[in-house]
Amino acid sequence: MNLLERIEELIALQEKLVNILLMSGSTKLNLPPRYAFEVLYSNLELLNLLAEAFRMLEFIEEDYGKESFISLGSEALSWMGIVLPAIEESCPIFLSGIGYIREPTEDINRLCKRIESLSERWSPSAVNQIVKELEDLSKLLRYYISLAIRSYESLA
């Protein structure tokens, strides 16, 4: 499976979760912790794949190919901005109330806007900044996942 197909597959999983959310009429999904962690790990994988895709962007010559990756990146982060807060009750990773730790959704929204603006103002330095931010966001999400795992282990 190539990079693009895997990104599209992970986006399709996000869409399914959002559809479940819409059908439930709620803004939160009550998932067993095991499934919540699977969602978190799939989003972590998606961030890493997007970083890899954006690293390759400068080598793509046709505008259509660049636009496809930009569109996928924007779509993936938009869904992620809905999915992660929706599963927070199942796996409280954002640690609301602890002021010095920032929430990943703020970074996701900011990065999504940056990616969308890339189609209007293309530059290699902007792409490099997006790759760095995707990697930073991945590290932040990985950190939150490790905190959540430790808290669940201490409860067990």
**Confidence label for 42 from pLDDT (cuts 50, 70 and 90):** very high
Per-residue pLDDT tens digits for 77-96: 999 999 988 888 777 665 55
- Sorted by where each starts, the structural domains of the chain and their CATH numbers stand as 3-149 (1.20.120)
Average pLDDT, the chain: 87
Structure tokens at 82: 């809905």
- Output the pTM of the full model: 0.88
Between the ranges 55-64, 101-110, 130-139, 145-154, where is the mean pLDDT highest?
130-139
Q: Which of 24-28, 55-59, 61-65 has the lowest mean pLDDT?
A: 61-65
Structure tokens at 15: 């869409």
The pLDDT value given to residue 114: 93
